[in-house]
A and B are shown apart, each in its own frame.
Chain A
Amino acid sequence: MSSVMKILKCYYVALWNKIFKNSKYRNKIYVALLFSILGIGAFTLIFGMLSYSSIITMQKEGMPELAMYSFSTTALMFMLMLIVTESTGVKKTTDEEMLLSLPIQKGAIITAKVLYYLIFDFVVIFILVYPAHIMYGMIVEGTILPFAIRGLVLILLCTLFGAGISGIIAIFLSRLTLRFKHSGVIQSIFGMALMVVFVIAYVGFSFTSQNPTTATQVYDFYPIQLLSRFMLEGSFTSLMIMVLFAFGAFVVSVILKAYYLGKQITTYQSKNHELSFETSTIGKSLYKKEINKYFSIPIYVSNTAFGPIFMIMMAILITVMGKPHFIHLIENVLSVGYIDGEVPENLIKVIDRYFNMGIVAIMAMMISFSPTTASSISLEGKELWILKAHPIPIKDVFISKIFVNMSIGFVPILLSSILLSTQLGIVYLPILCMVLVEALLISSMIGLYANLSLPKLNWESEVEVVKQGMAVLLSMGLNLVCILIPIIIINTIGLNSEWLMMGILILIYMAIGLIWAYVLKKKGTMLYQKL
Chain B
Amino acid sequence: MLEIVHYSKSYQKGKFVVEDLNLKVENGDLFAFIGHNGAGKSTTIKSIVGILPFESGDIRIDGVSIQDDLIACKKKIAYIPDNPDLYDALTGIQYLNFIGDVFQVKSEVRKEKIEKYATLFELKQYLNNLIGSYSHGMKQKLAIISAFLHSPQLLVLDEPFVGLDPKAAFLVKQAMVEFCKSGGAIFFSTHVLEVAEKLCNKIAIIKNGQLVITGKMEEITKDASLEEVFMELTNHE
The complex places the Cα of A181 from the Cα of B129 at a distance, in Å, of 8
**Known A-B contacts A279-B101, A285-B98; A296 and B129 likewise in contact (beta carbons under 8 Å):** no
The complex places the Cα of A386 from the Cα of B106 at a distance, in Å, of 20
Closest to A279 in B: B107
Query: Is A151 close to B, CB under 8 A?
Result: no
Within 8 A of B (CB), among A352-393: 381-383, 385-386, 388-393
Within 8 A of A (CB), among B95-154: 97-108, 110-111, 114-115, 124-125, 127-130, 132-133
Within 8 A of B (CB), among A111-142: none
Q: Are B53 and A529 in contact (CB under 8 A)?
A: yes
Query: Is A346 close to B, CB under 8 A?
Result: no
Q: Are B102 and A392 in contact (CB under 8 A)?
A: yes
Query: Is B163 close to A, CB under 8 A?
Result: no
Query: Is A497 close to B, CB under 8 A?
Result: no
Query: Is B191 close to A, CB under 8 A?
Result: no
The complex places the Cα of A270 from the Cα of B91 at a distance, in Å, of 10
Query: Is B93 close to A, CB under 8 A?
Result: yes
Closest to B94 in A: A292
Query: Is B75 close to A, CB under 8 A?
Result: yes
Q: Are A389 and B51 in contact (CB under 8 A)?
A: yes
The complex places the Cα of A462 from the Cα of B103 at a distance, in Å, of 30
A88 nearest CB across to chain B (Å): 14
Query: Is A266 close to B, CB under 8 A?
Result: yes
Q: Are A184 and B89 in contact (CB under 8 A)?
A: yes
The complex places the Cα of A181 from the Cα of B130 at a distance, in Å, of 7
Interface size class of chain A, counting residues whose CB lies under 8 Å from the partner chain:
35 or more
Binds A, one of B78-86, B182-190, B198-206: B78-86
The complex places the Cα of A285 from the Cα of B114 at a distance, in Å, of 18
The complex places the Cα of A393 from the Cα of B100 at a distance, in Å, of 15
Which of B49, B93, B125 is A276 in contact with, Cβ under 8 Å?
B93
Query: Is A95 close to B, CB under 8 A?
Result: no
Q: Are B101 and A268 in contact (CB under 8 A)?
A: no
Query: Is B90 close to A, CB under 8 A?
Result: yes
Number of B interface residues in the complex (CB < 8 A): 45
Which of B53, B90, B111 is A292 in contact with, Cβ under 8 Å?
B90
A360 nearest CB across to chain B (Å): 36
Query: Is A280 close to B, CB under 8 A?
Result: yes
Q: Are A293 and B124 in contact (CB under 8 A)?
A: no
Q: What residues of A have a CB within 8 angstroms of the CB of B170 in the complex?
A: none
Query: Is B231 close to A, CB under 8 A?
Result: no
Closest to A530 in B: B53
Query: Is A213 close to B, CB under 8 A?
Result: no
Closest to B102 in A: A390
Interface centre among B71, B98, B105 (most CB of A within 10 A): B98
Closest to B80 in A: A389
Q: Are B133 and A269 in contact (CB under 8 A)?
A: yes
Q: Are A390 and B74 in contact (CB under 8 A)?
A: yes
Q: Are A289 and B97 in contact (CB under 8 A)?
A: no
Query: Is B50 close to A, CB under 8 A?
Result: yes
Query: Is A492 close to B, CB under 8 A?
Result: no
Q: Are B130 and A275 in contact (CB under 8 A)?
A: no
Q: Are B130 and A266 in contact (CB under 8 A)?
A: yes
Query: Is A273 close to B, CB under 8 A?
Result: yes
Q: What residues of A have a CB within 8 angstroms of the CB of B93 in the complex?
A: 275-276
The complex places the Cα of A275 from the Cα of B127 at a distance, in Å, of 8
Within 8 A of B (CB), among A251-288: 264, 266-270, 272-282, 284-285, 288
Closest to A294 in B: B89
Q: Are A383 and B86 in contact (CB under 8 A)?
A: yes
The complex places the Cα of A407 from the Cα of B206 at a distance, in Å, of 49
Q: Are A279 and B106 in contact (CB under 8 A)?
A: yes
Q: Are B106 and A296 in contact (CB under 8 A)?
A: no
A250 nearest CB across to chain B (Å): 29
Closest to B100 in A: A279
Which of B79, B98, B103, B108 is A289 in contact with, Cβ under 8 Å?
B98
Q: Are B97 and A388 in contact (CB under 8 A)?
A: no
Q: Are B114 and A277 in contact (CB under 8 A)?
A: yes
Which of A277, A385, A389, A391 is B107 in contact with, Cβ under 8 Å?
A277
Which of B72, B107, B115, B125 is A278 in contact with, Cβ under 8 Å?
B107
The complex places the Cα of A268 from the Cα of B114 at a distance, in Å, of 22
Q: Are B81 and A282 in contact (CB under 8 A)?
A: no
Which of A268, A275, A278, A391 is B74 in contact with, Cβ under 8 Å?
A391
Q: Are B101 and A391 in contact (CB under 8 A)?
A: no
Q: Which B residues form the contact surface with A (CB < 8 A)? A: 49-51, 53, 71-72, 74-75, 77, 79, 81, 83, 85-91, 93-94, 97-108, 110-111, 114-115, 124-125, 127-130, 132-133
Closest 8 CB pairs of A and B: A270-B128, A296-B89, A285-B101, A382-B85, A391-B74, A388-B51, A266-B133, A389-B79
| Extra inter-chain contacts (9) besides given A268-B129, A285-B101, A289-B98, CB under 8 Å | A268-B133, A275-B127, A282-B104, A289-B90, A292-B94, A389-B49, A389-B50, A389-B51, A391-B71
